[in-house]
Amino acid sequence: MPSGLGDTTAFSYAELAAATGGFSEGNLLGQGGFGYVHRGVLPGGREVAVKQLKAGSGQGEREFQAEVDTISRVHHRHLVALVGYCIDGARRLLVYEFVPNSTLEHHLHAKGLPVMDWAVRLRIALGAAKGLAYLHEECDPRIIHRDIKSANILLDDNFEAMVADFGLAKLTSVNHTHVSTRVMGTFGYLAPEYASSGKLTEKSDVFSYGVMLLELLTGRRPGDRSSYGQDGLVDWARQALPRALGDGNYDDLVDPRLRGGDYDPTEAARLVACAAASVRHAARRRPKMSQIVMALQGDLPLEELSDGVRPGHGGAAFSSSSGGSGSGSEYGSGSYTAQMERIRRAALPSPEYSSEYPGSIPEYGHPSPASSVDRDDRRRQGGRRWLVHD
């Protein structure tokens, strides 16, 4: 058995099988594009989450160990910590700290749960931003997540956000020299330039984070067209957010369950301004995650995110500068949803694929996305991870 890398422990497959009850169905936490995740208990009582990476990644032992070593050195309050790994023949497993309170997706969208209050939503937005800012701007080498979504934001018992699955894209990439030809992510969250060309930068994560902010703000899934006609959440927001910032009225944006004074307008302005800036079409016009952290904390004037226009001062000016019609320079000349549909059709030409809900991209060689939700929630999930080869 290897001696371990960095701050991680090298486990044998038998040790992890024992910890998870033989990877039993009862301990299954989630199933996603990277593999299955099981809850486990190590000798001594420590709870962990054990992720079995899919076979066939093409990675040798040295390459896998090098990537694990990089991930193991990343420590931040708002990032899920890697505590160990296992190499057993062709098997590759990662062992993470166990985060007990499921995912943001679960708490926003599962039926029968209490409504997440405004203060908790803002706390989650800020925590996730801090974790991403650390990955982008303080890690060496920097880490681009590639699959930011509500299902990858885990929550502890105090509803503090912890970003999961960072670094996994590289662990499962078949060919690292052709990153630009391999797109990984979830429909509804993908940055347009990444989805169309495979061009990947930190600003691709910023876009996905912006979509997640829209989820927190509205309580709606990204692919939900039932509330927005033919437009998905992003297209609707590109028109609605600039108007709201211009007139200072956020009632039509906020989750209906929070309306009637159950949110803070000043904090709403911060969140809306960050979301509007993050989902801009042009990657270069999106802010850095550290700027979003400062804006959410009230430490950055919001006009620095919105071409010098202060929220509540001049709706017309705000709409024209920010592409309020959805067709300005900020947001490109077409519908984000339509662009994703074109890419979906190009990637998945076979008629055997079908959508579970309007606007979804069906599976392309992956089972449904992983998250710490129960099995019924997994069956209800609409987002789909997908993979495109040239």
Any idea what the CATH number is for the domain that residue 75 is in? 3.30.200.20
Q: Where a domain ends, among 81, 97, 113?
A: 97
Catalytic residue among 147, 231, 235, 377: 147
Residue 199 counted as an annotated binding residue: no
Please confirm, yes or no, whether 147 is among the known catalytic residues: yes
pLDDT at 2: 42
Q: Does residue 2 form part of some domain?
A: no
- Helix 315-322 to helix 233-247 angle (10° resolution) is 150
On whether both 114 and 205 belong to a single domain, the answer is: yes
Instruction: Dump pLDDT digits (tens) for 26-47.
Output: 999 988 767 899 999 999 999 9
Is 178's pLDDT higher than 50? no
What is the span of the domain harbouring residue 68? 9-97
The residue length of the chain stands at: 390
* Cα(103)–Cα(151) distance, integer angstroms: 6
Q: What is the domain count for the chain? A: 2
- pLDDT tens digits along 293-312: 999 999 999 999 876 556 66
Specify whether 239 is located in the same domain as 383: yes
Indicate whether 242 belongs to any domain: yes
Residue at a domain's end among 97, 127, 153: 97
Do 76 and 174 belong together in one domain? no
> Which of 295-324 are b and which e, b meaning 16 or more Cβ less than 10 Å from the residue's Cβ?
bbeeebebeebbeebbbbeebebbbbbbbb
Task: Identify the CATH number of the domain in which residue 347 sits.
Answer: 1.10.510.10
Percent of the chain with pLDDT over 90: 54
Same domain membership, residue 133 and residue 154: yes
pTM: 0.81
- Residues 219 and 93 reside in one and the same domain: no
Q: Which of 147-156, 165-174, 248-257, 351-360 is predicted with the least confidence, judged by mean pLDDT?
A: 351-360
Two tokens, residue 286: 């999106």
Last residue of a domain, one of 73, 97, 121: 97
pLDDT at 311: 63
